[in-house]
């Protein structure tokens, strides 16, 4: 089920909120939310619900065992728990990739091993990271294991952030599982954030998506203008698609009384790749820092060890996003930029005008998006050639011409502006009353236009659902 669908907006969400509001106690609300979360997850592919339920049960038992042991037995319990989670993730997300590469490697030698064809469960990367952070923090004595299976199940499967984040730590919501502050004012704030996220998805991301789709999927050996139009469209699409989902999740969480971490902070205004990763998918960045980079040694060792740790973390970040060599190279791409900035590029950049530093960071990010979006390495390589005009600098194809509607062009321009202007917007002075009225009016207008678009549009899943 998708937040930006008729089923969710007109049926699931109203029914859930009615049941939630009419339920008297927090404990009962937890049961109601858990049941609706399981229905939400099972809606499209019911068989994958068994995997989610297994992860919940496995990690509930694992946390209790880790919490109840001491010494070396705690380490063994943690090791088994981590291995179990990674095994489930590995089988369902990476088995096809491994067997496919293995078959391709030995096929020239006359061996035909075949390969697996395992479907990817929705959101498995996200709920696996929730599980891992929970058991690791129990091991670190950050908190005691929760003995209430409903609370643990709700933390792992809470539907607003279940399938595409933000990645929520158990400590963040631990108290809110038993005590939640719910007021009309908080519900109003949450609803406004949800509406903004919905508009980001259906009024911006979905409108420019055809441009990126044509450039990356439909046009072989695209021309220079086609390549840059498609890349700019995908740069806008992935930001507003993922930030839109995160805002919808955060808004729903506030309505329910939960506080989820902020996931984006105007990443396209960054002046370096180091700053970009402090602003993009911040819940993932902090997760990788606390559970991978620091345990590997962080920057506590030699410079060479620090560089190794950075590249390792970002290669694994790429692999986490998808089982494809393009994602591996995307991780290498960002890891390499971080290393080069630490080697001295950042100090040199700091002496340049802000506009040039911003242009450097944006071009580096967009170059990474080519690897992230391309179906395979050959497509990525051909796309880079097109960006430099080596596949022709002529007119756009018929497919791109059809996709370049006035609405798409205007939306692309507005998307580019909205991705950077909010950093300047708070400086614009206006009477508080007028600003409040303006915000309310614009929010209502966004809701109306978004609902009309959803009701008249086709199914459009969020990009991060496949990760």
- Active-site annotation holder among 281, 321, 334, 401: 321
- How far apart are alpha carbons 30 and 20 in whole angstroms? 9
Contacting residues for 48 by C-beta, under 8 A, at least 6 apart = 41, 42, 119, 121, 122
Token pair 């890891």 in the structure block, residue: 335
Look up 321 and say whether it is catalytic.
Answer: yes
Instruction: Say which DSSP state 342 is in.
Output: I
- How far apart are alpha carbons 197 and 117 in whole angstroms? 34
Which run of H or E residues covers position 103?
helix 72-106
- How far apart are alpha carbons 381 and 364 in whole angstroms? 16
HSE-CB for 418 with a 13 A CA cutoff: 20
83-114 in b/e form (b: 16+ CB < 10 A) is ebbeebbeebbbebbebbeeeeeeeeeeeeee
Are 196 and 208 contacting, i.e. CB atoms less than 8 angstroms apart?
no
Alpha-carbon torsion, ordered 53, 56, 61, 65, to 10 deg: 160
| Residues with a known catalytic role | 321
């Amino acid at each position: 089920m998708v937040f930006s669908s008729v089923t969710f907006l007109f049926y699931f969400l109203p029914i859930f909120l009615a049941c939630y509001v009419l339920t008297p106690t927090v404990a009962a609300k937890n049961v109601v939310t858990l049941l609706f979360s399981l229905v939400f997850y099972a809606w499209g592919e019911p068989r994958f619900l068994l995997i989610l339920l297994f992860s919940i049960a496995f990690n509930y038992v694992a946390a209790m065992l880790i919490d109840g042991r001491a010494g070396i037995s705690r380490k063994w319990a943690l090791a088994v728990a981590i291995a179990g989670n990674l095994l489930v993730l590995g089988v369902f997300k990476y088995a096809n990739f491994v067997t496919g590469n293995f078959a391709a490697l030995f096929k020239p030698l006359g061996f035909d091993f075949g390969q697996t064809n395992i479907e990817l469960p929705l959101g498995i990367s996200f709920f696996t990271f929730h599980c891992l952070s929970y058991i690791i923090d129990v091991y670190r004595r950050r908190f005691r294991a929760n003995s209430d299976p409903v609370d643990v199940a709700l933390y792992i499967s809470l539907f607003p952030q279940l399938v595409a984040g933000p990645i929520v730590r158990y400590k963040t919501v631990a108290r809110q599982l038993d005590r939640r502050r719910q007021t009309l004012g908080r519900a109003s704030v949450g609803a406004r954030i949800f509406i903004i996220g919905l508009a980001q998805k259906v009024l911006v991301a979905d409108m420019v998506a055809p441009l990126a789709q044509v450039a990356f999927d439909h046009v072989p050996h695209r021309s220079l203008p086609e390549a840059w139009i498609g890349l700019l469209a995908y740069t806008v699409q992935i930001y507003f698609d993922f930030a839109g989902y995160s805002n919808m999740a955060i808004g729903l969480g506030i309505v329910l009384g939960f506080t989820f971490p902020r996931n984006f902070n105007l990443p396209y205004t960054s002046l370096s790749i180091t700053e970009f990763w402090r602003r993009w998918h911040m819940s993932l960045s902090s997760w990788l820092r606390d559970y991978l980079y620091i345990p590997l040694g962080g920057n506590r060792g030699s410079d060479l060890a620090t560089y190794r740790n950075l590249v390792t973390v970002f290669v694994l970040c790429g692999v986490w996003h998808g089982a494809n060599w393009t994602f591996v190279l995307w991780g290498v791409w960002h890891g390499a930029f971080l290393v080069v900035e630490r080697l001295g590029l950042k100090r040199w950049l700091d002496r340049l005008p802000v506009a040039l530093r911003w242009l450097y960071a944006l071009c580096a990010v967009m170059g990474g998006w080519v690897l992230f979006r391309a179906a395979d390495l050959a497509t990525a390589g051909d796309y880079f050639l097109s960006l430099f005009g080596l596949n022709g600098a002529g007119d756009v194809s018929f497919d791109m011409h059809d996709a370049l509607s006035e609405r798409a062009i205007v939306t692309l321009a507005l998307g580019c502006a909205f991705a950077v202007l909010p950093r300047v917007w708070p400086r614009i002075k206006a009477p508080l009353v007028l600003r409040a009225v303006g915000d309310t009016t614009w929010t209502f207008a966004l809701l109306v236009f978004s609902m009309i678009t959803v009701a008249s549009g086709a199914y459009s899943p969020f990009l991060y659902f496949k990760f």
